Structure 1
Amino acid sequence: MTRIGIYGSEGRMGKTIAEAITEAGAEFAGGCDAGGDPVALARQADVLVDFSVPAALVGNLGAAVAAGKPIVIGTTGLSEDDLQNVDDAARHVPVLQTGNTSLGITLLSALVKQAAARLGTDWDIEIVEMHHRHKVDAPSGTALLLGQAAAEGRGIDLSRHSDSGRSGMTGPRREGDIGFAALRGGSVAGDHMVILAGNAERIELGHRAENRSVFAQGAVKAALWLRDKPAGRYKMSDVLGL
């Protein structure tokens, strides 16, 4: 039986993942939160899942590397330095890092990439997301994941073609940009819509998470899949064979 440990086990997602571990027939190896010992958890688990905070990432990655354990990272709001640390850890252990562990979002990302690749820049791409009032980062990690999929489809750098701060007299939309809009309110688990708007026609590709269980189930599936993989950097699309 695979033993799965959780960094951030006392958070909303951490508690939901703990339930999903049992439902999947795996064993919950325990959790580690602020003030805890990430190395001790890494030693007693077969695979780790991190849904903590960006500030804890370096320590959690270090613990995984020291113990030689695979780690799934679902923490969002990561910086470029954080992502570099993920790359560094992946040289030593299997690391799956994603902005969203939902299997539905994983498939949606593949569809967005394909649509962006097939349609020209005269089709404008806008990504609209809504989350609960407690979410602290915007755009969401999922919105950025979808934006990256669109950018990869077009063969462009998202950081140079991203627009997420429209306010006031912005002027006309710049061709080829990928726009983001973030909504916050209530208890929304996660709604995402990718709009491809052409002349006189529009394609809308969307996903609605009805509760956090979809993310927890995907995280556990990813952890079980990652357990026996060699060191390297993996994505949720690898779990689905996309």
Structure 2
Amino acid sequence: MQVCDVVIMGALGRMGSMLCSMVQESDQHRLAGVVERPNAAPGLSKYECVGAGDVKDVLAKSKGAVVIDFTAPEATLATLDAALEYGNPMVIGTTGLTAEQVAHVEEAAKSIPVFMAPNMSIGISVLLDILPQLVKKLGPQYDLEVMEIHHNKKVDSPSGTALKLGQCLAQARDENLDDVKQCCREGIIGARPDGEIGLQAIRGGDVVGDHTVYFLGPAERIEVTHRAHSRSNFASGALRAAHWLASQQPGKLYAMADMLI
């Protein structure tokens, strides 16, 4: 199998460090470059590859390498623009992007191969395939809620995965999630509106990521839960995506469903 060169953004962070470690142990990937904030860049010397505080300095020496980014929306968009300039494919695991930022990513995908997923887990991808069947078979009598739990350092809420799950549920009802979602309840709120989809968030400790979808019906409820035990779950999915993306052509924004066909 052909070796895939990768550039890791935020290489000294929690996810970046894990990605670098897994790449170094892989016989299918090679660490072509690493990037970190300029004030932390000296720490990149432990990696035997090109390292810098400016992604352009790395991409200029890493032709064709797939960029993997799990950083923050603004940083990810800046990296995407650099990838566009140098023609590098890019895997995006960053969450919390606005609709305008997603539109920018979609536009970039017309020129370079881009893969974006709020959750790189294979299990979540399978769950997204199964949920519409439950929605349709159970019918409108069942209220839908999504509960997510993440560590106390997570900055966006609801999580990107919770939003993706909510979108999946809404689409199964031929609805737009933005029209039916409810992310907060407080005070005298009255009866639950028909068709509402709740998205609730809990933050605390070092929880990697738990997501539960509730189907709350008459005299019964169904709970479908996915728990991530380690970030390695997301890292391995991102590396699998990078290897797959390296042989794809631009023209659309790729997602997990494209890779798992």
* TM-score (ref. length: structure 1): 0.95
Structure 1 residue 204 displacement after superposition? 1.3
Structure 1 residue 113 displacement after superposition? 2.6
* Native 8 Å contact 1:126 1:179 kept in 2: yes
Partner of 1:192: 211
* Native 8 Å contact 1:33 1:52 kept in 2: no
Partner of 1:28: 31
Structure 1 residue 22 displacement after superposition? 2.7
Of stretches 155-164 and 19-28 in structure 1, the one that deviates more from structure 2 is 19-28
Q: Secondary structure at the match of 1:211?
A: coil
Partner of 1:3: 5
**Identity fraction in percent:** 41
The counterpart of 1:216, out of the listed 235, 242, 245, is 235
* Native 8 Å contact 1:57 1:82 kept in 2: no
List alignment gaps of at least 5 residues for structure 1.
Answer: none
Structure 1 residue 10 displacement after superposition? 1.9
* Native 8 Å contact 2:4 2:242 kept in 1: no
Of stretches 111-120 and 223-232 in structure 1, the one that deviates more from structure 2 is 111-120
* Native 8 Å contact 1:108 1:206 kept in 2: no
**1: CA distance, partners of 2:58 / 2:125:** 28
**2: CA distance, partners of 1:62 / 1:152:** 31
* Native 8 Å contact 1:24 1:220 kept in 2: no
RMSD after superposition: 1.3
1:152 equivalenced with 2:171 (yes/no): yes
Partner of 1:98: 117
* Native 8 Å contact 1:97 1:235 kept in 2: yes
1:136 equivalenced with 2:155 (yes/no): yes
**2: CA distance, partners of 1:229 / 1:157:** 30
**1: CA distance, partners of 2:195 / 2:25:** 44
Return closer, same or farther for 1:185/1:156 CA change in 2, 3 Å cut-off.
Answer: same
1:1-242 equivalence runs, <5 A: 1-25=3-27, 26-35=29-38, 36-43=53-60, 44=62, 46-231=65-250, 232-241=252-261
**2: CA distance, partners of 1:7 / 1:216:** 13
* TM-score (ref. length: structure 2): 0.88
Runs of 4+ in 1 over 4 A off after TM superposition: none
Alpha-carbon deviations, 1:185-228, whole Å to 9, x = none? 11111111001111112221111111111010111011111111
**2: CA distance, partners of 1:23 / 1:152:** 40
Alpha-carbon deviations, 1:156-205, whole Å to 9, x = none? 10001100011111111111111011111111111110011111122211
**2: CA distance, partners of 1:230 / 1:147:** 29
Structure 1 residue 32 displacement after superposition? 1.5
Structure 1 residue 234 displacement after superposition? 0.7
List alignment gaps of at least 5 residues for structure 2.
Answer: 39-52
Structure 1 residue 9 displacement after superposition? 1.6
**2: CA distance, partners of 1:113 / 1:9:** 37
**2: CA distance, partners of 1:73 / 1:209:** 19
Alpha-carbon deviations, 1:4-42, whole Å to 9, x = none? 111222211111111222333211122212232222333
**1: CA distance, partners of 2:5 / 2:138:** 45
